[in-house]
Amino acid sequence: HLGLSQPEPEPEPEQGPEPGPEPEPEPESVPLSEFAFAAGEGNQDVPEARTRTLERIVFPMGQTRAPVTANDAIQRILVRLVANPDARVVIAGHADSEGTEPDNVRIGLARASSVADTFRRNGIPDTRIEVQSRGSTAPVATNDTEAGRANNRRVDVLVIE
């Protein structure tokens, strides 16, 4: 059970640029086009939405339960859903290309359902949750390498406000 807490205040902006590599983009900066379900059938209303919050949760091979490393992303989504009772969430589960497509669809659905169950346990009603599986049909990386396959074992979450 994730306890909802108030979001921490954002730190004051620093004066001047920091040396070193550029920080990784926030989850919201992931282009909508990378979320395979965003333009899929049944989501024609997505472009008219006022705000879209995007999160990606990566799963270990063979796992369908949301990993502990996903808690921060899930918490961010829960905060947005609780703050905006009109918001809804679309959760799309994905798999790498290992195994058969029927198995990959089942794994993708189990991953998406695992995330959806966390939202339900935290008071988000089914009417605000859509669960999908894309199996291995919408990779974001090559399936020719382990690193690429690891990126394809994921759940993409779209919060529509």
Q: Tell me the per-residue pLDDT of 64-82, one tens digit each, with 9 for 90 and over.
A: 999 999 999 999 999 999 9
Band of pLDDT at residue 53, cut at 50, 70 and 90: confident
**Claim: this prediction has a pTM higher than 0.75:** no
CA distance 43 to 135: 18
Q: In what order do the strands lie in the sheet with 129-135?
A: 52-58, 154-160, 88-94, 129-135
Integer CA distances (angstroms), 90 to 10, 98, 143, in order: 27, 25, 24
Q: What are phi and psi of 57, to 5 degrees?
A: -120, 120
Q: For residues 93 and 135, what is the distance between their CA atoms, to the nearest angstrom?
A: 7
Tens of pLDDT, residue by residue over 11-52, are 443 443 433 333 333 333 344 444 444 434 344 444 455 668
At 109, list the tokens.
Answer: 């659905």
Looking at residue 161, its pLDDT comes to 87
